[in-house]
Structure 1
Amino acid sequence: MICEMCGKKSEWIKTVFIEGTELKVCKECSKFGESADGTGSHAKKNAASAPVSRAVVNERLEARERRMRTRDVYKDMDTSEDLIPDYASVIKDARRARNMKQEDLAAKLNEKATIIAKVENGDMLPSDSLVKKLEKELGIKLTEKVSSIASSSSASGGKTLTLGDLIKKG
């Protein structure tokens, strides 16, 4: 049977009252309540309170099991958007093709000219919002779809490469 308190499967189940609720619990959980015959480590409180129905207990156990289940947050992520490697030259070329100065572009994007200069020199990665502004204003594409790479541990059968392995190969 399943303990209604902790959810473990147990051969030994005992009916106890825990905070006024009658539960069928395992040996470990029985110490938290008072048995139906009046013995137990805690005094019985709220004896007049109505016990929780079996349907409610089952619902709570199922909800707990769903919460405890692990899930892969990357399961549905096959591709993602990433900044292209030569973003600086693409931005600079597109700006020059429109005969704009860095100050003019900065004013249109509501950014500082120094930010535009740093991005064009490759000294700074543009934020996502700046990338969108640049793409819209200059009519260029600065992002590309990148497929997710499976972890190397799953590809190599669970064996990971260690520093010692690298030294042996060298």
Structure 2
Amino acid sequence: MELHMHSHRWVARQPDWAAAAVAGFGAGGILMMLELAWTAISADPNPWLATRMIAAMVMGWDVLQSSGYSFGVLAAALAVHYILGVAFGIMLAALIAPFQLDSSTGMVLLAGAAFGLILYVLNFYGMAGAFSWFAELRGWPTAIGHVIFGMSAAYIYRKMEQKLP
């Protein structure tokens, strides 16, 4: 029996970019479903608020002033949400591959959770300087959602990746 010890120091290893993009897209879908469930459970009087906040990143402040359903706002929010999901999935894979954080399921989930928590801080404390309306969404439900996003993206990436030299 051969015993392999995994070192998590940097090695020149390229991520599987396609798997990373799919993982980010899939994890974005999981996060979106969590957000919808949270909105339904919390009985928020404006269930389209988070959608409008995301869409306002590309459509401007005026989107935040209206309420109710709008296909254009929904389409913009979906586009932004999934583009960011893919971008963050690629960033996560760029950390996982060279540090060999995909050596085990536990390690990749831990790396994904840490990434999700850092992403939450950057999004809701850092980016809130440019998009001040996101400060309203700070809290445990959003933080947990981002941790689950990171874990989902990392796990999907590990299952899909073709380990490249």
Larger strand fraction of residues:
1
Same fold (TM over 0.5): no
**Smaller-chain TM-score bracket:** under 0.3
Larger helix fraction of residues:
2
Q: TM-score, normalised by structure 1?
A: 0.27
